[in-house]
Each structure stands twice: as C-alpha cells, then as structure tokens.
Amino acid sequence: MQHPFGSGKMGNESADLAFTDPLTGLGNLRRFFDKIDRLILDRADDPAPFAIGILDLDGFKPINDLFGRRAGDNILQQVAMRLKASMDQHSTVARVGADEFAFLYPLVFSEEAAQERALMLIEILSAPYDVGDRTARLSASAGCSLFYSGEENTETLISKAETALYHAKRSGRGKVMVYTREMEEAARRVTHIEQALRRAVAAEEVEPHFQPIVELKTGHVIGFEALARWTDRDLGVIPPNVFIPIAEERGIIGALSQLLLRKATETARNWPDELFLSFNLSPSQLVDQNTAQQVLAILARTGFDPRRLEIEITETGLMTDPASAEKIVNDLRAVGIRVSLDDFGTGQSSLGRLREFHFDKLKIDRSFVSSILEDKPSEHIIRAILAMCEGLGMNVVAEGIEEEAQADRLVEFGCAGGQGYLFGKPSDAEATMAYLREAYRGMVRDRRRG
C-alpha cells in the first residue's frame, strides 16, 4: 500500500510541509499535537509528568498596523528564532496561531519549573526587535499545563493550557499562569455568565443606570453618564466589572452597547435640553469601522440630538488601533457628538495623542482624586492636567469624588466638572427623573432667594 504522502524523498518533503509553518520554519499545530501524542504513548506504562505551554504575543496587532505586514512577518520570524534557540535538545517549540506559539518540555516535572521556563521565554522575547532602521518591543503571556496521568490526552492538555493563558492575559501583560482546577471552575462560571448575558441582551434585560455629572462650583447637574447594570433571573446581580470584560472577550460587546445606547437615549430625550448624556465605547468598538454608523443609526431612531451626546473612550481603547479609533472619533465629531478621554493618566497613550485626536473633554481618573487630600504627587498631577487642558481648550471632569473636601480642593485648583458618590450613585431611569425634578426644584428655590 502506498504511503499517503507518496514515497521516497518527495513523500518525506510533503509530509514535512504538512507539519511545518511556512513563515517561521517551526512545526505547526499538527506537529505539536503529534509530538504530545507520541510522548503520551511513550509514557503509557510509566506516566512521568511533562509540561506544555501556549505563549501569546501581547499587542502584536498594533505593531503589525504600525510597521506593516511584512515587518510583522519579520518580527514573527525573529520570535521563532529566539524561541528555537532557547530550547534544549529534548524540547519543542511550534507556531500554532497567528501570534501564538506552543512549547513542550518533556523533562519538566513540576508547576514551579514550568512557570520558571515560561517566564524565561517571556524575558527572551521582551528584548527589542529590529524593524528596518527602527526597533519594536513586544511582551508575551503564557499558559502552562502538566501531564500527570495516562487518563489525560493531548486535547485536554492543550485546553488546560489555553484556560491558563486566558487567566494570564486577564491578569495583565507579561504574566505566566499554570493550570489549576480552580481555573477550570472559573472558566465554567465565565461560560455560564456568557450564555446568560447573550440571553439577557437578546431579551433586552440589561439596563442603563445614570450617574450625575455636576458643575463643581454650584453643584448643578449638567449631564449624566450611562452605566450598564444587569440582574439575571438565575445568577442575581452581576457586577459590570465581571460582565463587561466577558462581553468584550466573547464578542457580545457590540450588541450590548447598541442596546444600552438605544435605551439610554430613549430616557435622556425626556430630560431638559441643556443636559448631556455621556456614553462609553469599548476598545473593541474602536477597531470596528461600523461603530460610528451604528451610533448615528440609533440616534436617528430615538430622535436624540447628537449635540447632546458625549462619547467616552479610554486610553487603552485608543492604543489598540489608533488609526481606526481616529477615523471613528472624526466621524462622530463631524455630526456634533463630543468625545471625551476617560481614565486619563492610567493608560498607555502619549500626550501627543491629545493634540492629534482633538478631544472635547478629559476625565481625571478616580485614583488621583481619591488621594488628592493626603498625597502631594496626586495633587501635582491634577494641577498639571488642569493647566494642560486649559491650554488645549478642553473641559475637565474629575471622577470618583466622595467627600466635600475633595470637591472643594478641585474647585480651588480650577476644575469645572465633577462626578462621584458625593453627587449621586448610578440610578435607573425612573429614579433619575425623580432626582432631576428635585434638583430643578432646588435651582428654582435658589433663584427665588437670589
């Protein structure tokens, strides 16, 4: 019977090609599976442990966009060379995805050793890469799993490493995680929440709540920020810091955001005309060129004036794909929507971005505001931000104000806008209307006294 890849030299070459990544010359996913299968078979009688891992390049897409695909390919080749050079004679590295590599360590027997080896690989990859006459830097995250018994198979091991990688990436760049049973339980819970969230978005059960934004000097309400809130019938209240990242990671954020914007603008059109609505766009929406069109379609449907809408984007969102973000920002501003930079000072963007993007407003992150009374560096940072914004003609809102003394200090520094529990917690549409009626009654009383 003839070999499926033919016979002789040509057959071997075809077989090699089927197991080789053409760009880097490393083995591909098939080769990696094959190596693990063989190792499990070799150890069937005496299942000594071994380690595998998946390594993912953090932030490779922006580098690809910035330097071009050819330069991106060249960087991947350099990554492959570094990884291959760091392997001993028993170990294997393969390219298993666009910017994912996998490694197999037959003689690593413990979680500590696996973590140590993976951290070494991340360190090796963090050195600068030559791209023509420029250099680029990369970080990487890794997830590892260990083979302990003959009951495990290749797919299980890789699935466990992927779960560990997911946890590594969620905990920040440049991290290594080794699979634990708790991770599997957490992964199951994430999947459970994801399924419930998909159902909730389809049934329109996620609601916007509104937190007041005030003029600090007078305490008068000038607008509200819309924030997502979700109570599931089975799971109960799910905090936004749990379900928003899941929506981002599992591709639900677009549908969720459109639902919230529609509901928020339907509510806000009943407010007094001088009040604005502030609404957050997620990083993944800033790489989707349909985003501006979707926002405008919702405003047309609900009859909400674009000039009363403020879109908030974060520095992280900006840096994911600056060219895409810039186009979306420009399309929104062209119809009178104002654009605000949220969480300023906590992300990756340079001050040059403020000049390039022409933001209307900047929001000072709560981490600076919370320590303004006792921490001199925070005070200096806030003063510097306010001076810079004045020079750039940008409005400023300080977030996370919880004490009267914080508000007083910000007024003293010349900050015009504020937001935080001192002025009101996020409330549903009905409670927000009641808050507004009371606030306006107070303003009328003040005017009469005046």
Count how many Cα atoms sit within 13 Å of the Cα of residue 62 in the half-sphere of its side chain: 20
What is the 8-class DSSP label of residue 347?
Answer: S
Q: Dmax over Cα atoms in the chain, in whole Å?
A: 102
Asked if 279 and 192 count as a contact pair (C-beta separation under 8 A), the reply is no
* Token pair 């998946």 in the structure block, residue: 54
Q: DSSP labels for 198-209?
A: HHHHHTT--EEE
Annotate 337-350 with b (16+ C-beta within 10 A) or e (fewer).
bbbbbbbbbebebe
Asked if 211 and 422 count as a contact pair (C-beta separation under 8 A), the reply is no
Annotate 119-140 with b (16+ C-beta within 10 A) or e (fewer).
eebbeebeeebebeeeebebeb
Helix axes 376-392, 404-413, angle to 10 degrees: 50
Structure tokens at 279: 């609404």
Asked if 37 and 52 count as a contact pair (C-beta separation under 8 A), the reply is no
In 3D space, the residue among 221, 118, 227, 129 whose CA is nearest the CA of residue 174 turns out to be: 118
In whole angstroms, what is the distance from residue 440 CA to residue 443 CA?
5
Q: 207, 310, 312, 399: which is the annotated catalytic residue?
A: 399
In whole angstroms, what is the distance from residue 370 CA to residue 422 CA?
12
Identify whether 100 is a catalytic site residue: no
Burial class (CB in 10 A: 0-12, 13-18, 19+), 186: middle
Burial class (CB in 10 A: 0-12, 13-18, 19+), 360: middle
27 SS3 class: strand
In whole angstroms, what is the distance from residue 444 CA to residue 450 CA?
10
Q: What are the catalytic residues? A: 399
